[in-house]
Amino acid sequence: MGNRVQFDDVHEAAMHLNEVRISYWTSHTVFSYSWWFLLISTAGAFLLWIKLVDRKRLLEISLFGSLVLTLIMLLDMIGGELQLWDYPTMVLPWGPRNVCVDIIMTVIYMLIYQYAVRWSTFILALLVMSFLFSFVFEPIAVWLKVYFPFVWQHYYSIPGYLLIGILMKRVLHIFLRFQHSGKAANR
């Protein structure tokens, strides 16, 4: 059967990768301009969201954001593991690929969800956001050494950004309809 890889080999490679990642992070990343940019941008996005969020819809908007963040982090993890892209600058050397970028994106999705209530407006806003993310923010992230696409092209992201918002809004509306049907049945 040839040379079979054992779980111990995988564990040993993961331990080595962890050592290399921490060494890279401590010598090239932490406290760099890009590192500070990520940290401050994430805090700023979160503070902006706190200031702007519609408190009457806080749970609904937060649930939408949680769904979006979960999907973004999953897709980010898959893309990173498949070496489609990676993040040379991360606030922490381990954990989600770049949780800061994922949080900033989620804040923008939540603000679009909050302000673009009608589906047509929501999709138009997502389309504008998708083009901005793909052709403005992704190249800036590459320039800042926050993001590095290996085989990924910026325009590949457009349908993904659109589908994340549309799918998660649809899922949330299913949850809300299910919740309201339960309230009606309990009366």
Q: Are strands 148-149 and 85-86 parallel, antiparallel or unpaired?
A: antiparallel
Confidence at residue 95, expressed as pLDDT on a 0 to 100 scale: 81
What does the DSSP assignment read for 6-70? PHHHHHHHHHHHHHHHHHHIIIIITTSHHHHHHHHHHHHHHHHHHHHS-GGGHHHHHHHHHHHHH
- Of 14-18, 28-32, 95-99, give the lowest mean pLDDT range: 95-99
Average pLDDT over residues 159-172: 98
Share of the chain above pLDDT 70, in %: 96
Residue 2 pLDDT class (50, 70, 90 cuts):
low
Share of the chain above pLDDT 90, in %: 89
Confidence at residue 186, expressed as pLDDT on a 0 to 100 scale: 61
**How many whole angstroms separate alpha carbon 75 and alpha carbon 54?**
28
Residue 5 pLDDT class (50, 70, 90 cuts):
confident
User: Other C-beta atoms within 10 Å of 140: how many?
Assistant: 11
The residue ranges of every structural domain in the chain are: 1-29, 31-186
User: Is a pLDDT exceeding 90 seen at residue 96?
Assistant: no
Among 150, 56, 69, smallest CA distance to 103 is for: 69
User: Is a pLDDT exceeding 70 seen at residue 183?
Assistant: no
Average pLDDT over residues 161-166: 98
Confidence at residue 15, expressed as pLDDT on a 0 to 100 scale: 95
